[in-house]
């Protein structure tokens, strides 16, 4: 029982952070129908910004993550506005290839800048934890979890309560109609991508405080975002949160009860099963192009 | 003689909404049925249910004596049924001839070779008046030509039963007249046709019987002139006030 | 894909004329040159490089069938490559089966897996299909890693073809040059036949409007699964030859997402849904990446990524369609394509 | 339109032919330059396929530094003498992108350009892939980093490894702790990554632990390159082992220590195969790294000396002067491999690969890296492994006893 509780706690704590990693990916996919294979690279850029600010200027990660978010917001906006917008109407594998090329450039750029060494951002509280009965809750992960949840909830509020958020939603539902209503689609697309990249950057900076990272991790972040976005339903912020927590817990349980080397296999099995059985995701509404209707 | 198409108590619900509810009718060989009704009456859904693009929640579809309820679209096509789509669906990257040839390549009366299919496509294009545009891209066609292409794709399948979903929408009077002429000649060749139209005037002249749908249900089913005079039809189409006025006028005439 | 004007005569009504004779002659001459190259011009290692080029021609053509013709962008085609490779390696290493028996077995596994996977997964469209196939490929790799009794796990599995414990003779770089050349020709021939057949028309109809295709009497499920199976067949055969060629194989490489991405990039840059496009794409990109790696030791992946970005932005419909368009309109403009797809 | 127009078909073929013609031209050029066993103009040309990009770029770079240092030192000493001729050593590097198949292809390319003598790539998979080609071409390779014993069970004759095999990595740690710890740990838990090298090392460690009278209470495998080992640790925690052994790479190694602290798993000490001597380990873990025991192929305190590098200390000093960074074991392995190849050529008195192969097989010498003597399968079986412990943020040699700079601190950390 202790083991089960501990595994569940581990999974939930990881899952909260995963949710923040994935929420921007899901947003971009849901609103623009773009699967951004460079998403993992954005997470890493955020992690490196956090690391660099901490190691060179002594800026603590809790502050640095806002810098990372702001920097990536700008990068994301420019990338969408001046690059991805050029092929937005092309067949989907074009955007897949474009973002794949982008991730090659970004990841190898990181290798050139920072080498392939493993980094992490040390914190004073990182090595300790809270003991509740037999269950141990690491402070570092708890804080990361809280921040991740706060950011995700912030995004939900933003999407529902602000003009820009509503414009993004409207554009996602019907681009043509949104344009007729006076939404500047190019700008909204740029901002959507920027927000997604900014959240990825914040997630990266926080991730750096709890785990080691190197440029080679980019693909793994993208893949996990995939799984979470599909689990939760595209463009659904609550779904991304639920999907992240679910993936974290499923991975922790499979590590606990099936063996550590099967964690990824189980994650992919869940992904494929959900796609086939319920392509709209666990919380999503039926998505129009998900399945062939003949 | 077995009817070509029998529809028995067909229903389809989307969530709480009944798009088609308990509709029944049958069609004999070389009969033309006009299906009319206001927007949202369930006409296109009815076609989709018959051709297998949607699965009915209740009821049966029988084609040529065979129960095909819930069969996939290509299986329905194999029962010599062809259809057009209300929103035209050309294969964008094939030229007009190849678009039509697809219809001749698959389905029950498939051509022996791609060459034969192309030849058959040319015949059909001639017939619908699209022969000069055979090498054009479908994206460049005007509304009337796009509708002709949609019709040609169906005809190339050499169906016994043809389901036309608003092939006359957006056409000019002369073009409508040509389309009606074509339908008449197909009927003369023995083809059974179900024509869905939003506008009733055109359809009445070619239909043997007319089915009027309203909110997913059969409102009236009868000969064209009976339907024309039916009060419920007028009410559905033109509103209650207009119907009352018509009734008053008719009573006046009857009284005189 | 771009809607591209068709300057071709209607399919199927082409007779054998002087143009066809010239083409046939060029084709034959090309084959003779390819057959003579190893003996007279190419060093052993260059034959190996060429074998790699041929392999990617076959892989890109395999992807072309499902991604180009049927319009289902598989991002997991490498799963067939890996399964083909592991079938061959396991049969040869554990059961001492000869390569010529292992190869058809690998092909059969490819087809069977494509059908099993295709029936559920081909019901998904667009990104969903892409991700489901990616998920299957990654998942199968994890399974192969974990079945280490059979597959050797991450330690890899070795076909005993070299050294003191060899049980089978190794065809050498020249041998594999011809194996992979034959496979590339087979793959291109299959795609050529498909492009002219009713099957090919059916696939293209599915790619462009699946609903209308079904209404036209096309059994979309059967055609899609058949295209996937054919794709699986060619890809698994490539994997089988690769396993034998490499001697020792590892799951990380045999199921690498990078291989899938290369297939897609090659087919797309050359021109999806065309016969010659994937050939051009594979030849071009293989030589390009080879050249970059030799000349820009640290930067080549960085540059390669940049080239993909530029190629996608400037040539989103592929080289073949671009050349055809330019020819048809007698002008070359890369900006037209941007105009077609930008927001 | 998808139907292929004749024009595009012509274009396609023109394209292929152009490329082929270009390829042929290159081919002839190279063929002309080949021959001479890679020894033109008094230079001995040696090839090395290395992971200069990709996932192993970091280790590939360190390996390259070792080869470069060796080339400099050998040429400073007048080059390699074979018979009555002196050759300048010239190593050519090509990038294998961290992919085994590319490494194998590069070995073929070296063969064609006349380099019959090869220095190994980085990592067991690439080494194994290359060794099959080496065997086929009759080349000779000295392996600097492929430690997995599986490579040497294939019956290949032409591949030699200067390093201790994988089985000794964890075993050395167990020996070091068993000899020096007081009280001696009774229970052990083993966490292993699922790659071939780590699994082989874990087996070696398990066998040694049992030999030393310890009880293995848990064995967990985690996915290679994962940074999440909390499941394994959660399972180990209730068994309260005295010692946790980790057979993995840097990222799993860091995660194991960090997540043990987070989860309150408190053994008396940690032993990890390759992670602790790597600078990243201390940088990432800070204080938490204190007391972790690691194994290494080489330390500046290793025994032995040779005429090229002198002692291990001389090597370390020279390396720091040459490259401005601290010498560590990856580059030392590489330099030792290069040294073995040079000594083989000298002993053979020829650059003929068959003769060099036999000479290397019969080599029996001391070096800054320790003894070099190959068994029948090509492993340097007698070379001892060293063990280090992180003390005050620095890896300090604690084993074997005669090289130890400090005593093992136990309980550690």
pLDDT of residue A284: 56
Question: Are D369 and D229 in the same domain?
Answer: no
Evaluate whether B241 touches B252 at the Cβ level (below 8 Å).
no
Question: Are D285 and D330 in the same domain?
Answer: no
Contacts 24+ apart (CB under 8 A), D32-41: D33/D113, D33/D114, D34/C43, D34/D112, D34/D113, D34/D114, D35/D114, D36/D114, D37/D114, D37/D116, D37/D351, D37/D352, D37/D353, D38/D113, D38/D114, D38/D115, D38/D116, D38/D117, D38/D351, D39/D87, D39/D351, D40/D114
Q: How many domains are contained in chain C? A: 1
Domain that holds residue C228: 35-258
Residue among A94, A96, A292 minimizing CB distance to C130 = A96
From start to end of D73-225, where are the E strands? 80-82, 85-95, 117-119, 140-143, 159-161, 187-193, 215-222
Confidence of residue A48 (pLDDT cuts 50, 70, 90): very high
Give Cα separations from D309 to C97, C226, D126, D370 (angstroms): 50, 64, 27, 12
Task: Name residues whose C-beta falls within 8 Å of residue B243's C-beta, 6 or more positions apart in sequence.
Answer: B231, B234, B235
Asked if the structure places residue C307 within a domain, the reply is no
Asked if the structure places residue D11 within a domain, the reply is no
Q: Does B89 touch chain A (CB under 8 A)?
A: no
Asked if the structure places residue D277 within a domain, the reply is yes
Q: Rounded to 5, what percent of chain A is helix, strand, coil?
A: 75, 5, 20
- Binding-face residues of D in 384-403 toward B, CB within 8 A: none
Q: How many domains are contained in chain D? A: 2
Residue among C125, C146, C264 minimizing CB distance to A97 = C264
From the number of C-beta atoms within 10 Å of its C-beta (0-12, 13-18, 19+), residue B142 rates as exposed
Residues of A in contact with C131 (CB under 8 A): 35, 226, 230, 271, 275
The span from the CA of D109 to the CA of D106, in Å, is 5
Domains of chain B: 1-80+160-224 (3.40.50.300), 88-158 (no CATH)
Question: Are D251 and D348 in the same domain?
Answer: no
Asked if the structure places residue C297 within a domain, the reply is no
pLDDT tens-digit series, residues A147-206: 999 999 999 899 889 999 989 888 888 888 888 888 888 999 999 999 999 999 999 999
Search chain A and give the residue with CA nearest C68: A93
Residues of D in contact with A261 (CB under 8 A): 194, 221-223
Residue among C146, C164, C273 minimizing CB distance to D157 = C164
- Both tokens assigned to D257: 């220590």
CB-based contact B82 C215, cutoff 8 Å: yes
Residue C156 dihedral angles phi and psi, to the nearest 5°: 85, 175
Q: What is the ipTM of this complex?
A: 0.88
Question: Are D348 and D287 in the same domain?
Answer: no
Closest CA to B97 of B67, B50, B41, B137: B137
Q: Any idea which residue has 């040839």 for tokens?
A: B101
Q: Does C14 touch chain D (CB under 8 A)?
A: no
Domain that holds residue D154: 38-164+300-373
Closest CA to C293 of D91, D105, D20: D105
Evaluate whether D291 touches D394 at the Cβ level (below 8 Å).
no
pLDDT of residue D41: 58
| Interface with D, mutate which of A212, A224, A252, A268 (most D CBs under 10 A) | A212
Question: Are D196 and D313 in the same domain?
Answer: no
Residues above pLDDT 90, as percent of chain D:
74
The span from the CA of C119 to the CA of D168, in Å, is 49
DSSP A180-230: HTT--HHHHHHHHHHHHHHHHHHHHHHHHHHS-B-GGGHHHHHHHHHHHHH
Query: SS3 for B42?
Result: coil
Evaluate whether A72 touches A43 at the Cβ level (below 8 Å).
no
pLDDT (mean) for D194-207: 94
- Could you say which DSSP state residue D5 is in? P
Rounded to the nearest integer, the mean pLDDT of chain D is 88
| Interface with D, mutate which of C4, C27, C45, C328 (most D CBs under 10 A) | C45
- Could you say which DSSP state residue A70 is in? H
Give Cα separations from D130 to A27, C208, D139, D381 (angstroms): 45, 47, 10, 21
pLDDT of residue C206: 96
Asked if the structure places residue D13 within a domain, the reply is no
Phi-psi region of B202 (alpha: psi -120 to 50; beta: other; left: phi over 0): alpha
Confidence of residue B245 (pLDDT cuts 50, 70, 90): confident
Evaluate whether D395 touches D176 at the Cβ level (below 8 Å).
no
Per-domain boundaries in chain A: 2-277
Residues of C in contact with B153 (CB under 8 A): 212, 216
Q: How close does chain A come to D251, measured CA to CA in Å?
A: 7
From start to end of D128-260, where are the E strands? 140-143, 159-161, 187-193, 215-222, 243-247
Query: The domain that contains D135 carries what CATH number?
Result: 3.40.50.2300
pLDDT of residue A291: 40
> Which element (helix H / strand E) includes D389?
strand D386-391
Task: Name residues whose C-beta falls within 8 Å of residue C324's C-beta, 6 or more positions apart in sequence.
Answer: C4, C7, D1, D5, D7, D8
pLDDT of residue D101: 92
Residues of A in contact with D225 (CB under 8 A): 216
Question: Are D99 and D172 in the same domain?
Answer: no
Higher pLDDT, D3 or C113: C113
Asked if the structure places residue C112 within a domain, the reply is yes
Question: Are D238 and D316 in the same domain?
Answer: no
Please determine, for residue A288, whether its predicted confidence score (pLDDT) is greater than 70. no
pLDDT tens-digit series, residues D28-77: 333 333 334 455 558 999 999 999 888 888 889 999 999 999 999 999 99
Architecture of domain A2-277: Orthogonal Bundle (1.10)
Asked if the structure places residue D314 within a domain, the reply is yes
- Both tokens assigned to C14: 């082409």
Question: Are D268 and D180 in the same domain?
Answer: yes
Beta-strand relationship, D243-247 and D372-373: unpaired
pLDDT tens string, chain C, 343 residues long: the values are 333 333 344 444 455 678 888 888 999 999 999 999 998 889 999 999 999 999 999 999 999 999 999 999 999 999 999 999 999 999 999 998 999 999 999 999 999 999 999 999 999 888 889 889 999 999 999 999 999 899 999 989 999 887 777 778 899 999 999 999 999 999 999 999 999 999 999 999 999 999 999 999 999 999 999 999 999 999 999 999 999 999 999 999 999 988 998 999 899 889 999 999 999 999 999 999 989 988 887 788 899 999 989 988 888 788 888 888 888 887 777 777 677 777 7
From start to end of D30-150, where are the E strands? 43-50, 80-82, 85-95, 117-119, 140-143
- Could you say which DSSP state residue D242 is in? S
pLDDT of residue A56: 93
Asked if the structure places residue D409 within a domain, the reply is no
Question: Are D253 and D390 in the same domain?
Answer: yes
Give Cα separations from C188 to C13, C57, C267, D3, D136 (angstroms): 22, 8, 12, 14, 32
Asked if the structure places residue C18 within a domain, the reply is no
Residues of C in contact with B101 (CB under 8 A): 10, 201
pLDDT tens-digit series, residues C267-300: 988 999 999 999 999 999 999 998 998 888 778 8
Q: Does C41 touch chain D (CB under 8 A)?
A: yes
Give Cα separations from D167 to D147, D208, D332 (angstroms): 9, 10, 20
DSSP A3-15: HHHHHHHHHHHHH
Beta-strand relationship, D140-143 and D159-161: parallel
Q: How close does chain C come to A102, measured CA to CA in Å?
A: 6
- Binding-face residues of D in 242-301 toward A, CB within 8 A: 250-251, 254-255, 258-259, 261-264, 279-280, 283-284, 286-288
Q: How close does chain C come to A49, measured CA to CA in Å?
A: 20
């Amino acid at each position: 029982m202790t083991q089960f509780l501990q595994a569940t706690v581990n999974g939930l704590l990881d899952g909260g952070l995963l949710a923040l990693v994935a929420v921007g990916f899901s947003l971009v996919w849901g609103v623009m129908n773009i699967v951004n294979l460079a998403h993992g690279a954005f997470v890493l850029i955020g992690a490196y910004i956090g690391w660099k600010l901490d190691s060179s200027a002594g800026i603590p990660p809790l502050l640095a993550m806002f810098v990372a978010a702001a920097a990536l917001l700008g990068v994301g906006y420019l990338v969408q506005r001046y690059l991805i917008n050029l092929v937005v109407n092309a067949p989907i594998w074009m955007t897949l290839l474009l973002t794949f090329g982008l991730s090659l450039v970004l990841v190898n750029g990181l290798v050139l800048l920072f080498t392939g060494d493993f980094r992490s951002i040390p914190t004073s509280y990182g090595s300790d934890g809270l003991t509740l009965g037999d269950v141990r809750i690491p402070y570092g992960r708890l804080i990361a979890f809280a921040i991740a949840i706060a950011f995700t909830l912030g995004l939900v509020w933003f999407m529902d309560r602000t003009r820009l958020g509503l414009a993004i939603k409207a554009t996602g539902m019907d681009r043509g109609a949104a344009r007729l209503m006076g939404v500047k689609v190019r700008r909204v697309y740029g901002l959507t991508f920027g927000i997604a990249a900014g959240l990825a950057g914040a997630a990266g900076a926080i991730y750096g405080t709890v785990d080691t990272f190197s440029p080679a991790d980019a693909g793994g972040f993208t893949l996990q975002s995939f799984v979470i976005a599909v689990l939760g339903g595209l463009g659904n912020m609550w779904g991304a949160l639920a999907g992240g927590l679910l993936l974290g817990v499923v991975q922790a349980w499979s590590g606990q009860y099936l063996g550590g080397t099967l964690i990824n296999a189980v994650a992919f099995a869940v992904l494929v099963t959900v796609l086939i059985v319920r392509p709209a995701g666990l919380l999503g509404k039926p998505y129009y192009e998900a399945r062939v209707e003949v | 003689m077995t009817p070509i198409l029998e529809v028995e108590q067909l229903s389809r619900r989307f969530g709480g909404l009944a798009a088609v509810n308990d509709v029944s009718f049958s069609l004999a060989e070389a009969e033309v049925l006009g299906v009319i009704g206001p927007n949202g009456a369930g006409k296109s859904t009815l076609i989709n249910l018959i051709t297998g693009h949607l699965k009915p929640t209740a009821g049966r579809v029988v084609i040529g004596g065979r129960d095909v309820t819930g069969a996939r679209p290509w299986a329905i096509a194999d029962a010599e049924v062809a259809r057009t789509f209300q929103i035209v669906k050309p294969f964008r990257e094939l030229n007009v001839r190849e678009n039509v040839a697809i219809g001749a390549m698959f389905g029950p009366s498939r051509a022996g070779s791609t060459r034969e299919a192309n030849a058959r496509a040319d015949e059909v294009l001639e017939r619908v008046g699209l022969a000069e545009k055979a090498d054009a891209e479908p994206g460049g066609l005007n509304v009337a030509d796009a509708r002709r292409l949609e019709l040609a794709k169906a005809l190339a399948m050499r169906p016994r039963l043809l389901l036309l979903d608003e092939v006359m929408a957006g056409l000019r009077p002369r073009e409508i007249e040509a389309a009606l002429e074509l339908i008449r000649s197909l009927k003369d060749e023995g083809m059974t046709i179900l024509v869905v139209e939003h506008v009733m005037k055109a359809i009445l002249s070619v239909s043997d019987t007319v089915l009027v749908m309203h909110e997913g249900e059969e409102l009236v089913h009868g000969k064209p002139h009976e339907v024309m005079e039916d009060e419920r039809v007028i009410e559905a189409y033109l509103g209650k006030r207009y119907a009352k006025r018509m009734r008053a006028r008719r009573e006046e005439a009857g009284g005189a | 894909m771009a809607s591209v004007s068709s300057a071709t005569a209607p399919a199927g009504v082409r007779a054998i004329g002087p143009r066809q004779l010239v083409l046939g002659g060029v084709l034959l001459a090309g084959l003779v040159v390819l057959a003579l190259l190893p003996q007279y011009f190419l060093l052993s290692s260059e034959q190996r490089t060429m074998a790699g080029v041929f392999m990617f021609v076959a892989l890109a053509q395999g992807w072309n069938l499902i991604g180009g013709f049927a319009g289902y962008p598989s991002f997991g085609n490498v799963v067939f490559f890996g399964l083909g490779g592991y079938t061959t390696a396991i049969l040869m290493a554990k059961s001492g089966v000869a390569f010529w028996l292992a190869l058809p077995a690998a092909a059969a596994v490819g087809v069977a897996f494509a059908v099993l996977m295709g029936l559920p997964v081909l019901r998904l469209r667009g990104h969903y299909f892409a991700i489901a196939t990616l998920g299957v490929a990654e998942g199968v790799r994890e399974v192969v890693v974990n079945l280490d009794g059979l597959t050797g796990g991450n330690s890899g599995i070795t076909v005993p073809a070299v050294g003191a414990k060899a049980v089978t003779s190794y065809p050498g770089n020249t041998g594999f040059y011809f194996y992979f050349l034959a496979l590339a020709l087979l793959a291109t021939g299959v795609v050529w036949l498909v492009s002219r057949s009713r099957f090919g028309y059916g696939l293209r109809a599915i790619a462009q409007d699946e609903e209308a295709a079904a209404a036209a009497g096309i059994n979309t499920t059967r055609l899609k699964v058949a295209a996937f199976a054919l794709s699986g067949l060619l890809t698994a055969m490539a994997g089988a030859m690769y396993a034998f060629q490499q001697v020792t194989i590892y799951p990380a490489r045999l199921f690498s997402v990078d291989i899938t991405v290369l297939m897609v990039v090659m087919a797309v840059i050359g021109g999806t849904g065309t016969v010659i496009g994937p050939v051009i794409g594979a030849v071009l990109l293989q030589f390009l990446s080879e050249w970059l790696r030799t000349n820009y030791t640290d930067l080549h992946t960085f540059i390669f990524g940049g080239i993909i970005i530029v190629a996608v932005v400037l040539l989103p419909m592929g080289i073949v369609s671009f050349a055809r368009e330019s020819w048809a309109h007698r002008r070359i403009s890369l900006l037209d394509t941007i105009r077609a797809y930008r927001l | 339109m998808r139907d292929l127009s004749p024009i595009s078909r012509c274009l396609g073929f023109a394209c292929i032919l152009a490329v082929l013609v270009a390829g042929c031209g290159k081919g002839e050029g190279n063929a002309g330059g080949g021959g001479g066993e890679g020894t033109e103009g008094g230079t001995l040309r040696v090839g090395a396929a290395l992971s200069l990009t990709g996932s192993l770029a970091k280790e590939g770079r360190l390996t390259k530094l070792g080869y470069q240092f060796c080339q400099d030192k050998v040429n400073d000493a007048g080059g390699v003498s074979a018979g009555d001729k002196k050759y300048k050593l010239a190593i050519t590097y090509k990038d294998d992108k961290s992919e085994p198949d590319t490494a194998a292809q590069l070995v073929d390319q070296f063969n064609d350009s006349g380099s019959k003598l090869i220095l190994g790539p980085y990592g067991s998979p690439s080494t194994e892939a290359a060794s099959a080609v080496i065997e086929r071409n009759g080349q000779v390779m000295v392996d600097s980093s492929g430690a997995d014993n599986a490579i040497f069970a294939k019956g290949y004759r032409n591949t030699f490894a200067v390093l201790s095999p994988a089985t000794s990595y964890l075993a050395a740690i167990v020996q070091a702790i068993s000899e020096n710890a007081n009280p001696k740990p009774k229970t052990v838990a083993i966490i292993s990554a699922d790659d071939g090298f780590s699994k082989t090392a874990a087996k070696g460690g398990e066998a040694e632990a049992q030999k030393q009278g310890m009880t293995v209470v848990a064995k967990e495998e985690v996915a290679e390159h994962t940074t999440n080992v909390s499941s394994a640790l959660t399972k180990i925690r209730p068994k309260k082992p005295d010692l946790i052994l980790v057979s993995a790479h840097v990222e799993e190694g860091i995660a194991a220590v960090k997540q043990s602290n987070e989860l309150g798993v408190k053994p008396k000490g940690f032993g990890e195969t390759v992670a602790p001597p790597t600078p990243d380990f201390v940088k990432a873990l800070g204080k938490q790294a204190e007391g972790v025991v690691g194994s290494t192929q080489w330390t500046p305190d290793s025994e032995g000396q040779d005429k090229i590098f002198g002692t291990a200390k001389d090597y370390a000093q020279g390396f720091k002067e040459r490259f401005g960074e601290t010498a560590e074991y990856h580059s030392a392995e590489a330099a030792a491999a290069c040294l073995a190849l040079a000594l083989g050529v000298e002993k053979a008195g020829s650059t003929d690969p068959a003769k060099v192969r036999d000479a290397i097989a019969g080599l029996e010498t001391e070096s800054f890296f320790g003894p070099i003597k190959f068994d029948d399968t090509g492993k340097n079986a007698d070379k001892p492994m060293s063990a280090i412990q992180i003390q005050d943020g620095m890896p300090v040699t604690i084993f074997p006893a005669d090289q130890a700079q400090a005593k093992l601190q136990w309980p550690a950390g």
